[in-house]
Amino acid sequence: MMRVYAGAGVILNGPILIFNYDPYYHIRRIVFTVHNFPRVLWFDSYLDYPQGMELTWPPFFDQLAAALALIVGAESQRGIEMATALLPPLLGAATVLVVYVMVREVQDERAGALAALLTAISPYFLLYTSFGESDHHSLEALLMSGVVALQAVALSRKRPGWFIAAGALMALIAYTWLGAAIYFGIILLYAVVQIALDLRAGRSSREFLRSMLLALGTALVLMLPFSNQAWMWPSFASLLTYAGVLLFTYALSLALRGRAPWYALPLSLAALAAGSFLLAVLLDRQMGVLGGAHRLALSTLEYLFVGQMVGRIAEAQPLIGYISLASFLGATLLLFILGVLAMLRAMAQRGASRGQILFLMWMVSTLILTLGQARFLYLLSVSTAVMTAVLFCAAARGLRSRMGRPAPAVAVSLILLALLVVPQALLAISAPELQPPIAGDWYDSLVWLKANTPRTSFYDDPAMRPEYGIMSWWDFGNWILYVSERPVVANNFQTGVMDADRFFLSNSEADASAVMDARMARYVITDWELIYKKFPALANWLEIDPDDYIGYQSTDYFTKVVIKDPMKNTTLAQLHLYDCIGMGRYRLIYESGTYLGEEPPSSRVKIFEYLPGAVIEGTTSSTEPVEAFLAMESNQGRAFYYYNYGVPVDGWYQIQVPYSTQARYDTRATGSYQVISNGRVQKINVSEEDVLKGNSVILHF
């Protein structure tokens, strides 16, 4: 119920507004799958318009949501949206139960119960599993917690069925996320460490190896039917490689047993890995499989820690840039580290089971992953809750042993528990105040776009190319596609992003129009944040210095963004700030109701139409530019002027204009064009047909 309550902001006056960006494409696939179950979209002509895009999102989350919709009888789009919005809370609740089982297995009943409680109220985990947070992250957290829990149980009870179940969940992870190899690598790392520890203790790893291979083999068998698919092959190939590495590690441990100290095993493996990697780097493509493995490993490390998406995608930023000990996140990370230290101390004193080693390595791995990319916070939020519970239980035991009398120890423990639970509970209670980013101006704009632009074909079965596309920054592509049901040039998979960037940062209308023509785009959507908040990301993609375009002035109360001349000359600024002044083929047709910024203030969201434009032309005796003015009023009632000019050549001038003097949209002219040459003013009307067909309108001076 808490997770449903936390997502109350999703439902606003009827429509269900899902949180964030990627979930909107999940819902698109889910709606398709509901009507074509169990099929999912593998090609979408509405992405990367006009060529379309092959999809590599594994299908399990979308199929699971579609199955839930079918089970509850949801067939309408709203019903499917409601079922999809409900899935993350269900997955979050299941994760809480899995956390209880996992911690109970490696600690005790009390620690398990407290870990489950803290996970349930964790503000960050709540964000990822609340009603309307319809992304696969919640499923990842459940499945990986399940793998660790099942492995921990299996390692202590030594029953094959538990390892088989763990392997099945590993396969489901591969059916859920393309990067499953990262999680499989953590399991491999644990297995290697465990074999090294067994060698140190003089224990045989034979049964352990069999058990781990049973889990890996189960996963491989379940992945095999789709192993040749682009969305499955990286996970399958990685897991197959990891199984080989595990066998080699065991063979090496047998060879070293009694002949070398135990630490020769990890040192030998590290030396072999480094040597193989270096050899593959030197020979690269001549190394065949080894070269491919090197490139896969290198791309994985780059993706996690120094990838090209750093500075371009918010969730790809390193978490370390957000950490402050004075913040809630900083405090929870401190408790996490203290919990790890407390568990290490207990393991050193009482010995460590294999399940505890796996558990602790997974906990630490989630921290390392999240330090590399903030996207993994949905995993770390569970780990911080778990390790905080471990720390509290260790502290409570220490209090009981030192105080002797149970009553004071219990009182102090309850106070500490309240300090842990109450702040998180208060943050969780405030969660419904959050509104989806699309709410308000963006949603209203996209509803308008759908109702006031020509409908495009093949939306429900996007195998064929539709008629035209929408140019926007990639952040908003999935919103446009789903809400407006229009094809997009760029979307949240970073398809089309370079052309979108070249369009917005172009310095001439001709260059911008060349991109629009190549992409067969007819409309442009801009956002105030592209200039005032997101511009460094736009500059990053084209590897230009954002300081050349915008500056910052700090006052006692706020920081002001200063628009520099290079920014003013960009197509982005010409459209969003200056309403197409001086442009002949772009016109403002809609703006949202929220005005922001200054010099000049502008609407949050604006929509423009790209069209041939009419040409006002004729004779003039002047050699000076001939100017055209048109008084306009936006759909919000804001008055503005359109202006353009043409330089006469041999007594003949031409001025390309995008606005008609007829009222096609609520953004419209309030009079006729006033054309000025040599001090003489003439009025002329331009029809909608003229601007749509590129007609000439003759006006002689």
> Tokens 């919000």 identify what position?
636
- Whether residue 686 is predicted with pLDDT greater than 60 in this model: the reply is yes
Over the stretch 284-304, which tens digit does the pLDDT of each residue have? 555 454 445 555 555 555 555
Q: How far apart are CA 606 and CA 587, in angstroms?
A: 10
Q: What is the residue-averaged pLDDT of the chain?
A: 88
CATH 2.60.40.3390 assigned to domain 614-698? The reply is yes
- Number of residues in the chain: 701
- In contact, 380 and 366? CB cutoff 8 Å: yes
Helical ranges in 456-570 per DSSP H: 477-479, 497-504, 509-518, 529-532, 535-541, 565-568
Task: Convert the pLDDT of each residue in 217-233 to its tens digit.
Answer: 999 999 999 999 999 99
First to last CA, the chain: 74
CA-to-CA distance for 472 and 469, rounded, in angstroms?
10
The predicted structure's pLDDT at residue 174: 98
Q: In whole angstroms, give the CA distance from residue 408 to residue 416.
A: 12
What are the two backbone dihedrals, phi and then psi, of residue 619, each rounded to the nearest 5 degrees?
A: -90, 155
Map residue 158 onto helix, strand or coil: coil
- Predicted pLDDT at 323: 63
> Distance from CA of residue 6 to its chain's centroid?
20
From the candidate CATH numbers 3.40.470.10, 3.20.20.70, 3.40.50.12610, 3.40.50.300, the one assigned to the domain spanning 441-609 = 3.40.50.12610
**What is the percent of the chain with per-residue pLDDT over 90, rounded to a whole number?**
67
Tell me what pLDDT residue 53 has.
Answer: 96
Residue 370 half-sphere exposure toward CB, CA atoms < 13 A: 20
Query: Given this model, what pLDDT does residue 277 score?
Result: 67
- Cα-Cα-Cα-Cα dihedral sign, residues 13, 19, 24, 26: negative
Residue 467 near residue 456, CB atoms below 8 Å = yes
- Confidence at residue 268, expressed as pLDDT on a 0 to 100 scale: 84
Report d(CA 54, CA 585) in Å as an integer: 32
Question: Which has the minimum average pLDDT: 75-84, 397-406, 483-492?
Answer: 397-406
Q: Would the pLDDT of 408 be above 90? A: no
DSSP letter for each residue of 176-197: T-TTHHHHHHHHHHHHHHHHHH
How far is residue 586's CA from residue 571's CA, in Å, rounded to a whole number?
10
Four-CA torsion 612, 614, 618, 623, nearest 10 degrees: -70
Of residues 139, 137, 174, the one with CA closest to residue 21? 137
List pLDDT tens digits, range 440-462. 999 999 999 999 999 999 999 99
Query: Average pLDDT, stretch 274-279?
Result: 72
Report the C-alpha gap between 580 and 215 in whole angstroms. 62
Confidence class of residue 270 from pLDDT cuts 50, 70 and 90?
confident
Residue 46 pLDDT > 90: yes
The answer to whether residue 7 scores a pLDDT higher than 70 is no
